[in-house]
Amino acid sequence: MPKEVTGAYPSGHAVLSKLYALILTDLQPQLKEELEARAQQIADHRVLSGMHHRSDINAGRKVAELTYAKLKKSKKFLADLKKL
């Protein structure tokens, strides 16, 4: 597949897959390794398909970690998480 030249930095797929893995780990801590592995696999597939460079993926995962840290400080997020 030919590589696309787009404004793909950071990778949205990497952001969401990592962020979802972090949130789901709060709900199912015993699945942490599987969730992280799947998030990494999703991000890696974006590189393999030619849609992103590794730097896009690394940046996306960092954005997810920063976003998650912010969410963990949100009373509303924590209350919603507790309901789940």
Report pLDDT digits (tens) over 20-34: 999 999 999 999 999
Structure tokens at 5: 């030249």
Q: Encode pLDDT of 43-63 as tens digits.
A: 888 877 777 778 888 989 999
Cβ 72 vs Cβ 25: under 8 Å:
no
pLDDT reading at 1 higher than 60 = no
Query: pLDDT value at position 68?
Result: 97
